A and B are shown apart, each in its own frame.
Chain A
Amino acid sequence: MNEMIIQDVLPAYFQESRKDQSEIWGKDLHFEKGELIKIVAPSGKGKTSLIHFIYGLRKDYKGRIAYGKKNIEGFSAENFAGYRKNHVSVVFQDLRLFPENTVLQNLEIKRQLKPYHPPEMIPTFAERLGIGDKLDFKARTCSYGEQQRVSIIRALLQPFDFLLLDEPFSHLDDANSKKAMELMLEESHARNACIIFADLERIDYFPYTRLFHL
């Protein structure tokens, strides 16, 4: 599938008037593979909600979100499993790692689900993002910045058409953010995937093709 359609979508708990101030809520949008989409909004405007709606974690919205021609609202639990395994990957703002498992185990659990990269790529990616020495540490013992980099690498170990980023650098300094962004751009480019990047503000090292204010 080449496109993600967001049609007249508004969180159920938002007033209709929000549509007037937003370039996303209540609009008809088509995101194509290969695009780099930047969504900018201050806190409380619904960035995380939008990412969760597209990923299928929440259904409390009005309007229609479709992957290709299929409305994801009608997906079964099995359909969502396939959607997340093969087509859409995500970096959550709240990281969502298995705290009692090591960094390596966290990454392997995702990689083995639909191996896009061989296991040797895990240490390579970890080295590139500066957490090569953390692979055998339990996730809960890592700092937020380290956990965020684990979460980023995890999202890149599977095939995807769309990569959803929800404030992926909130715990990272500029230098580490740049390295992570480079890696994500490389991996997305290799898959000809679209990145949908929601953040508080614009950053220079994400060469977006379209910019939206939420």
Chain B
Amino acid sequence: MALSYRTIKPLLLTSASGASRWLSYTGLAVGVLLLLCSIQMFINIQQLLHRQGIRKGGYDFISVTKTVTNENMGMDNRFSQADIAELKNQPFIDDAAPLVPNRFRVVASAGEMIPFSSDIFIEALDHNFIDTVPPGFEWKEGQEVVPVIFSSDFLEMYNVFAPSYDLPQLSQATASSVSIILRCEGNLGSQNFRSNILAFSDRVNSILVPKSFLDWANKNLEGVDTVKSSRVFIKTKDANSPELIAFLDTKDYRVNKEKTIFGRSKQLLQGVLSGLGLFGLLVVILALMLFSFYLQLVVARSKDNLQLLLILGYSPAWLSRKVARQFIPVYFMVVLLALLVTQLVQWAFHHYVMFDRPELTTLVHWSVAGVALLLIILSVITNYRMVRRLLHKLSY
């Protein structure tokens, strides 16, 4: 017959210290709730921002220019090889590549369908930095067709002013089918190329052509071998890292304002939530400490009874297990309650604040439930170890 704890349980004098016990339960519930809510909100922000950030393989890509001021106007504000090498050497920058511009005149026209012609600029960028590199984005000497990657923002701008000039507005699909004539004029001669838009880029605000074409045209039409660029693209794990922003500030480099403003608010929100999470963790630790004091008080009050049980031959390990196990249901209920309230908060946040946006889920993230489970296990183990230590002390 298994040894029963029922006859032993009344020997544990718990009743007189009920207030301290309920205080620690409340503290634990509040702490766990804060912690779980912070984790859930942190995950919500990650999920919301992940969709908005133009990231590739976990990296941010941002373009950097030198700030043009009244003082340096007229000076060469382009990036030298040394500048680019310095950028690459920074620990918070994983790679950097210049946006190589054209040094010759480029005039684009769209033929009879869209009676429009304009001087434009074209640039070339390392393929690793472009978000959408379609197959066929290549050019070889002698090839008449030059593939182009067009900025989505530029198309949007075109569609804004097109009606004012009686030009048709274009969808991305239609724009891709329009055949464009690129007239390239330089000191050494001029040449016409046919061009079409192969893809649109959300990341690079430019008209990109293959680098082989730009190098060839700069050399053969203008006679320039190496071209300094005004813009450099950098690849970084976190465009909002304080080190990166501080470095760019000291070098007087400018980055995309919208991105950093967004980034700075993201940083602020995550900071606030981390602080709240840490505070929750602190409350959890305090509550666990309070509970351990309560347990110590129970053991101290029941010292004579526990000591007599040990004298009669009860095993300290068995007793510790039973005493610690006695509190599992309460711990479970406290943490479960906190988890349910977190679920309620998440539902309300998703439904009433975010209007059921698809990026978020109504259910709490699995890691939140995981943390709740971990907390239960952790508190049971720490209780068991503490009671066992106290009982071992009593047995001598």
Contacts and interface: CB of A to CB of B under 8 A. Distances in A.
Given A101-B10, A112-B4, A85 B313 contact: yes
Contact of B3 (A86, A100, A101, A112): A112
Contacts of A81: 310, 313-316, 318
A57 B313 contact: no
A208 interface: no
B395 A77 contact: yes
Contact of B309 (A77, A86, A109, A114): A109
Given A57-B311, A98-B308, A115-B1, A77 B7 contact: no
B305 interface: yes
B11 A101 contact: yes
Interface residues of B, number: 23
B312 interface: yes
A105 interface: yes
A82 B8 CA distance: 18
A113 B312 contact: yes
B355 interface: no
B282 interface: no
Contacts of B308: 96, 98
B165 interface: no
B317 interface: yes
Contacts of B309: 109
A113 B10 contact: no
B8 A109 contact: yes
Interface string A98-112: 101100010011101
Contact of A109 (B7, B318, B396): B7
A84 interface: yes
B392 interface: yes
A109 B312 contact: yes
Interface in A89-127: 96, 98, 100-101, 105, 108-110, 112-115
A158 interface: yes
A59, A80, A105: residue with the most chain B Cβ atoms closer than 10 Å: A80
A77 B318 CA distance: 12
A128 to B, nearest CB: 22
B313 A158 contact: yes
Give the dominant DSSP class at B's interface. Answer: helix
Given A78-B317, A81-B314, A85-B313, A108 B392 contact: no
B7 A98 contact: no
Nearest to A81: B315
Contact of B313 (A101, A105, A114): A114
Given A109-B312, A113-B313, A114-B313, A98 B395 contact: no
Given A101-B11, A108-B7, A113-B3, A77 B312 contact: no
A78 B7 contact: no
Contacts of A112: 1, 3-4, 7
Interface string B161-178: 000000000000000000
Contacts of A77: 310, 316, 391-392, 395-396
A206 B308 CA distance: 29
A108 B1 CA distance: 13
A110 B4 CA distance: 11
Contacts of A80: 310, 395
Contacts of A105: 7
Nearest to B317: A78
A80 B395 CA distance: 9
Contacts of B10: 100-101
A53 to B, nearest CB: 14
Contacts of A59: 396
A110 B313 CA distance: 8
A81 B316 CA distance: 8
Contacts of A84: 311-313
A133 B4 CA distance: 25
Contacts of B11: 98, 101
B1 to A, nearest CB: 6
13 contacts: A77-B395, A78-B316, A78-B317, A80-B310, A81-B310, A84-B313, A100-B10, A101-B10, A101-B11, A105-B7, A112-B1, A154-B312, A158-B313
Given A59-B396, A98-B11, A154-B312, 4 more contacts: A83-B313, A84-B313, A86-B313, A112-B3
Top-3 shortest CB links A-B: A84-B313, A85-B313, A77-B395
